[in-house]
Amino acid sequence: MADGPADIAPLLRVEGLSIGYRDAFGAMLPAVRELSFTLAEGASLGVVGESGSGKSTAARALLGHYRAAGKRTGGRILIRGQAIDELDPASLARLRGIDVAFVPQNPLSSLTYHLTVGVQLVEVLRTRAGLTASAARGRALELMTQTRLPDPAALFERYPHQLSGGQRQRVVIACALACQPRLLVLDEPTTALDKSTEVQVLGLIGELRRSLGVGLVLVTHDLNVVAQMCDAVLVMKDGACVEQGPTAATFAQPATDYTRELVGSVLRLDAAPPADRAQHTPPPLIGAQALGHHYRSGGWWRRRRAGAPAALQAVDLSLQPGEVLGVIGESGSGKSTLGGALAGLISPTEGRMRFQGMALPGGASARSREQRRRIQMVFQDPLSSLNPRQRVGTAIARPMQVFFGLNRRQAWDKAAALLDELGLEAHFLQRYPRQLSGGQQQRVAIARALAAEPELIVCDEITSALDATVQGQVIDRLLQVQARRSLALVVITHDLGVVWRMAHRVLVLRDGLVHEQGRTADVFSQPASDYTRLLLEAATSASRHRQDPALAPATNPVKDSAQ
């Protein structure tokens, strides 16, 4: 797809963009180096690369946004011929949301915690689109319906923390789509979504692109999503572009070793079956019987409304020492509620739990010190779970000081060893969470959980922020640690490739109910329910797209402007 006549500017042109960050000593460290590409109206570009390659930094720059220590050191960005770095603050503010909109990787940090999601969506429509209050409410409910949010009228009145990760992400996508922008920049937009919901949301974005001619820049570590959504792909490493071209052709015949490594690292369900897993025998490490939970319909002072749906209903499970249980299901199915109950963050309203043969109270405050140490949790959003004012070393060392009485030097030495196990160097101990990439933040969160030397870790979407190569590395290292320590894991995820790679057994949740559970190989090869079959089909459809050479576009809408 050509740019069009010479006198018509393309939708987006990036020319020699360079961005740097100042370190603690004032030196400028390069994050993006001489990046160049052109995007035509209605075209789509996928930006891929390992964690820390500069993808998100480049994406934010397309809206003229640089983090506190960041600065454009060279090049320029033009949207419809207008250099955005030359705009005054007022003009740049008008550009955002109208001409170009952004969907961030972390929905919780982009939503205001003390306002309902409906109020926040209405605010966007009133301030950006100029709608009246009643018209904005109607349009907000319409957008929530379009983004497949269940019961929009009820969710409209909820706060961000009362929504699942996938529901929060769809609210943010609705906010971005509110004013029908010409360019949509998406930074890992499907990170928090299960595969069936991912298909729906990507379908919605695709419909918007076709009907309105919206251009897409999609930053992601999921190469299957790029294959499904993007005409062209740009591969980044160490802040620079190493390869770009039509998606199907690039994935089928990568020109560089690095791209070949990325393509080969994709977790797939159509690969060879996993090796036989070890069989475990009683007694279980942790068990739950008839576990159920209802959330209050209003504030904490209100009683639960009669007839309100349960987040969990009659869940039974058993986990042996050293066993890995995968928990899958669509967004809002109760996966995170189950994980929170096991970790003590939620006190179930029904049922009971036992740990090492003893009764396990629902809330962490009622558990013994040893029970709290032995059961740890790694959260879906590492940035929200780490103290932004604490250095990484302090965060990891703290559990060792609290539970084992180590002094600061001893704890920091052990923290460095934990980071080394997870592929991070010791100098990361001196950094703050916001100075790390999403994948690095998640590995720090895993190290902090391991610092307490637990016997069970509840992992809530721990690989969702990781690119394909780093995801495989982290999974391998975590499984090595798990095997050495006979560590039990509950792996909550929407990525069935992760479950296939890690889990001995799998539990399938939908609407708070267990649809089926059993050995991973058995459930995946012969699912007993239509719902599990649907999840498996959604997880494998994107990889089929990637292998289809017919998807190669006739022309390349994204060009290296240096050529």
Q: pLDDT tens digit string along 307-326?
A: 557 889 999 999 999 999 99
d(CA 46, CA 30): 22
72 has a pLDDT exceeding 70? yes
Are residues 211 and 26 in contact, defined by beta-carbon separation less than 8 angstroms?
A: no
| Of residues 9 and 182, more confidently modeled | 182
Position 412 scores a pLDDT of 95
For position 297, what pLDDT does the model report? 56
Averaged over 75-88, what is the pLDDT? 91
Radius of gyration of the chain (CA): 24
Mean pLDDT of 411-415: 95
Q: Greater confidence, 228 or 276?
A: 228
Give the mean pLDDT of the chain. Answer: 84
Q: Output the DSSP codes for 277-334.
A: PPP--SSPSEEEEEEEE---SSSTTSPPPTTPPPSEEEEEEEE-TT-EEEEE-STTSS
The residue with greater pLDDT, 562 or 219, is 219
Per mean pLDDT, which range of 7-16, 29-38, 159-168, 300-309 is the poorest?
A: 300-309
Q: Which of 160-164, 189-193, 206-210, 415-419 has the lowest mean pLDDT?
A: 189-193
Between 132 and 469, where is the model more confident? 132
Task: Give percent above pLDDT 90 in the chain.
Answer: 45
Report yes or no on 358 lying in a domain.
yes
The per-residue pLDDT for range 224-255, each reduced to its tens digit, is: 889 888 999 999 999 999 999 999 999 889 99
- Residue 540's pLDDT is what? 64
CB neighbours of 230 closer than 8 A, spacing ≥ 6? 44, 45, 46, 216, 218, 247
- Judging by DSSP bridges, how do beta strands 324-328 and 488-492 pair with one another? parallel
Is residue 286 over pLDDT 90?
Answer: yes
Top mean pLDDT of 158-162, 177-181, 189-193, 450-454 is at 450-454
Residue 178 lies in a domain: no
Q: What one-letter code names the amino acid at 489?
A: L
Q: Is the pLDDT of residue 415 over 90?
A: yes
Q: What is the pLDDT of residues 201-227, one digit of tens each?
A: 787 788 777 877 889 999 988 888 898
> Is 280's pLDDT higher than 80?
no
Q: Is pLDDT of 68 > 80?
A: no
Average pLDDT, stretch 533-560?
A: 50
HSE of 117, CA atoms in CB hemisphere, 13 A: 30
Confidence of residue 5 (pLDDT cuts 50, 70, 90): very low
Which range among 56-60, 279-283, 436-440 shows the weakest confidence by mean pLDDT? 279-283
Q: Tokens 């001619």 sit at which residue?
A: 213
Residue range 477-486, pLDDT digits in tens = 888 888 888 8
3-state secondary structure of 352: strand
CATH number at residue 419: 3.40.50.300
Residue 26 lies in a domain: no
For residue 359, being part of any structural domain is answered with yes
Number of separate domains in the chain: 1
Does 470 fall in a domain? yes
Domain annotation covers residue 393: yes
- The kind and range of the H/E element at 481 are helix 468-485
Q: Establish if 79 belongs to a structural domain.
A: no
Of residues 292 and 469, which shows the higher confidence score?
292
- What is the pLDDT averaged over residues 67-88? 88
Greatest mean pLDDT among 201-215, 270-284, 302-316, 424-438: 424-438
Tokens representing 192?
A: 């928090």
Q: Is residue 504 part of a domain?
A: yes
* Percentage with pLDDT > 70 across the chain: 87
Task: State the pLDDT confidence band at 275, using cuts at 50, 70 and 90.
Answer: low
More confidently predicted of 359 and 295: 359
Is the peptide bond between 283 and the residue preceding it cis, with omega within 30 degrees of 0?
Answer: yes
Q: What is the pLDDT of residue 148?
A: 79
Q: Which domain holds residue 317?
A: 286-295+309-528
Give residue 67's pLDDT: 77
With beta carbons less than 8 A apart as the criterion, state whether 119 and 156 touch.
no
| 319: amino acid identity, one letter | L
| Across 10-14, 210-214, 349-353, least confident range | 210-214
Full-model pTM: 0.69
Cα pseudo-dihedral 108, 114, 119, 120, rounded to 10? -40
Long-range contacts of 449-452 (CB under 8 A, 24+ apart): 449/376, 449/377, 449/378, 450/376, 450/418, 450/421, 450/481, 451/396, 451/397, 451/398, 451/399, 451/400, 451/414, 451/415, 451/418, 452/373, 452/374, 452/376, 452/399, 452/400, 452/403
pLDDT score at 204: 75
- pLDDT at position 472 is 78
Q: Average the pLDDT over each of 63-72, 373-382, 413-422, 509-518 and give the range with the smallest value.
A: 63-72
What string of DSSP letters covers 396-434? HHHHHHHHH---HHHHHHHHHHHHHHTT--GGGGGS-GG
Q: What is the DSSP letter of 160?
A: G
3-state SS assignment for residue 186: strand
